[in-house]
Amino acid sequence: MTNPLLQDWTTPFGIAPFDQVSDDDFAPALEEALAAHLAEIAAIADTPDAPTFANTVEALEAAGTGLDKVLGVFFTVAGADSNPAREDLQRAFSPKLAAHFSEISGNKALFARVNAVWESRDALTLSAEQARVLMLTHRGFVRAGAALEGAAEVRMKEIKARLAVLGTSFTQNLLADERAWFMELAEDDLDGLPDFVVAAARAAGEEKGADGPVVTLSRSLIVPFLQFSPRRDLREKAFRAWEARGANGGETDNRAIAAETLALREERAKLLGYATFADYKLETEMAKTPDAVRRLLMDVWKPAKAQAEVDAAVLTEMMHADGINEALAPWDWRYYAEKRRAAEHDLDEAALKPYFQLDRMIEASFACAHRLFGLEFAPLDVPLYHPDCRAWNVTRDGKHVAVFIGDYFARGSKRSGAWCSAMRAQAKFPQVQSPVVINVCNFAKSDPALLSYDDARTLFHEFGHALHQMLSDVTYESVSGTSVARDFVELPSQLYEHWLEVPEVLAEFATHAETGEAMPKEMLDKVLGAATFDMGFQTVEYVASALVDLSFHDGAAPADPMARQVEVLSEIGMPEAIRMRHATPQFAHVFAGDGYSSGYYSYMWSEVMDADAFEAFEEAGGAFDPERARALEEHILSTGGSQDAAELYVAFRGRLPGVEALLKGRGLAA
């Protein structure tokens, strides 16, 4: 029987034929695709023709399309709709893929050809994008260890293979802990909870096969429970379970994995001649050095901590007024912050939430993209990997631009968090291909589906990433879309969040789920007025995580990462009632793979730019200024990684930004 993963797809716009693919197809398809890719690599490396940009660098760009198809489908379903078979496959695939790409980067004949093209670059007639691709290709080989010899080369391959296994294990352990724990609620435990939390708890109970409502460790359920439950004992129980993910002992404990990962990363960096893993990792980013990252984080940490301490004193007084004469605890903060928000801003989350319908917020994100960039979105009826998914054909001036897929609801088979990925990236070489882009979120499922304001921001954030993919207009896939420096990749996503706060957008799309009426102006003003509420807490929990991540990699790898975490938090004076946003055993950004290792700071680095970039719109004709929108697409969204990130930002804004706009936007300016 033919394997659908290895066929040409005749589906609309070449979308993966999810309805034809079974889990049994993945392993044989991967084996065949790996072999085909190695054959393509051998043909490039072993050709007797003298190395040229076309027969070496462009040939590498063209190789591996079959492998990309298989992996695009597999990693989509493994992350968003996993099952035991897919988890087994992921564990088996990780070392195979690591070994495969190590074999390519370690191919001496291939590297010799790439190096020859690099050495002759001044004599070549290359476009700016081609010169950039050549530089990135050569640098990628060197950083992967292509120049290593003998024992060092062998050891590098071993390290990469082991890190792939550890990253997969970390992710699966975290998912297992999140899936396994839930707290059953009696009917009187629901007292004080808004209807939307009760509905989400009942839906979660049905999914878990419980006799009644439950609280799970899904952020979309546990956070509102911590916000609204008057039962301090239940809040503490739920929070402690949330905090313990990945650190419960037994087979799913991630602490030893974190320690081994850090040690291997340090060894890897030193094999390549770097003092620390942070030096290695940051070399390719806008920040360049650990010191630059630390300066940014500490510039933000000081005012954020000061604000958080002022807020903690207010919340403690509120708790004491309730007759609880104890220190403010982490399971108290969200509850009393919500009460304070309701009192000071007269904002009731339960009254607010019906105005943030999922479908209306999707419409809002599309409408902003239409006004800014002329994009149109038409529903697309195609088989997808889960019934909750939906797809749209994205066009401009009647021409197809991309396929956009949205997968919005939390479920036990989906890893936590929210993300954007391209199943197929935009490119013009070796043939023109339009992108297929997916946003995956974890919103509570209800009818109608209602979002918190933070959920709505998440939706806009991930759609900003999607626009970066969909509006990409480059020749080579290796520099397409979000293939940019890690501390630049969050700029489009965080910038797009600002359009949710534009009053006219909320006035049009924040309509009540039952009455259909627009949000009253008084409520709208309160929403916008409360935009920086509790920002001390939010900034402290984030920056603490970023500083711990940096400390793990900027120096000798700690034998006990948990002890090092405690040490860093003590050094910076972490407030007692606030925890890191991601404690080490659940810090998937850093330990599920190398993506954000030494790079969790990048959200803040990007926020410095996004605050400054939105000011550019406000200084011009407003949020939908057409000239600024054209400049944003021309210099940032369409260019991918085809130019240096700092140069792209300067082309858009005329200068690099300072931290002032960020502090102002977060309400932390002095």
Instruction: For residue range 475-494, list pLDDT tens digits in order.
Output: 999 999 999 999 999 999 99
* Nearest Cα to Cα of residue 163 among 77, 288, 269: 269
- H and E: helices and strands count for the chain: 27, 7
Angle of the 108-119 helix axis to the 23-46 helix axis, nearest 10: 60
* Joined tokens for residue 604: 């803040």
* Nearest Cα to Cα of residue 146 among 94, 110, 120: 110
Tens digits of residue pLDDT in 49-92: 999 999 999 999 999 999 999 999 999 999 999 999 999 999 99
Q: What is the DSSP letter of 347?
A: -
157 occurs within a structural domain: no
132: enclosing H helix or E strand: helix 128-144
Q: What is the pLDDT of residue 355?
A: 97
Kindly state the percentage of the chain with pLDDT values over 70.
100
Rounded to an integer, the average pLDDT of 92-111 is 94
The answer on pLDDT for 669 being more than 90 is no
164 occurs within a structural domain: no
Q: Cite the DSSP H helix spans in 181-289.
A: 195-208, 219-228, 232-243, 255-271, 277-282
Rounded to an integer, the average pLDDT of 567-581 is 97
Residues 275, 268: Cα–Cα separation, whole Å: 11
670 occurs within a structural domain: no
The answer on pLDDT for 528 being more than 90 is no
Does residue 350 sit in helix, strand or coil? helix
**Structure confidence at residue 320 as a pLDDT band (50, 70, 90):** very high
167 occurs within a structural domain: no
In terms of DSSP bridges, do strands 399-409 and 436-443 run parallel, antiparallel, or are they unpaired? parallel
**Structure confidence at residue 670 as a pLDDT band (50, 70, 90):** low
Tens digits of residue pLDDT in 631-652: 999 999 999 999 999 999 999 9
* Joined tokens for residue 131: 């010169």
> 415 and 439, same structural domain?
yes
> 359 and 339, same structural domain?
no
Which residues face 378 on adjacent strands?
393
Give the residue numbers annotated as catalytic, written as ranges.
462
Q: Which amino acid is at 32?
A: E
> 332 and 448, same structural domain?
no
The answer on pLDDT for 597 being more than 70 is yes
Q: Which of 122, 144, 166 is the last residue of a domain?
A: 144
Which residues face 399 on adjacent strands?
396
* Joined tokens for residue 510: 């924040």
> 613 and 550, same structural domain?
no
Cis bond leading into 575, ω under 30°?
no
> 630 and 594, same structural domain?
no
182: enclosing H helix or E strand: strand 182-184
> 196 and 68, same structural domain?
no
162 occurs within a structural domain: no
Tens digits of residue pLDDT in 225-271: 999 999 999 999 999 999 999 999 999 999 999 999 999 999 999 99
* Joined tokens for residue 80: 């968003």
**Structure confidence at residue 603 as a pLDDT band (50, 70, 90):** very high
User: Total structural domains in the chain?
Assistant: 4
Residues 246, 250: Cα–Cα separation, whole Å: 10
What CATH number should be reported for the domain holding residue 9?
A: 1.20.1050.40
423 occurs within a structural domain: yes
> 439 and 303, same structural domain?
no
Q: What is the pLDDT of residue 636?
A: 98
Q: Mean pLDDT, the chain, as a whole number? A: 96
**CB of 363 closer than 8 Å to CB of 374:** no
Q: What is the pLDDT of residue 176?
A: 95
Domain coverage including residue 191: 181-245
Lowest mean pLDDT among 22-36, 309-323, 389-403, 438-452: 438-452
166 occurs within a structural domain: no
The answer on pLDDT for 1 being more than 80 is no
112: enclosing H helix or E strand: helix 108-119
> 639 and 491, same structural domain?
yes
> 525 and 464, same structural domain?
yes
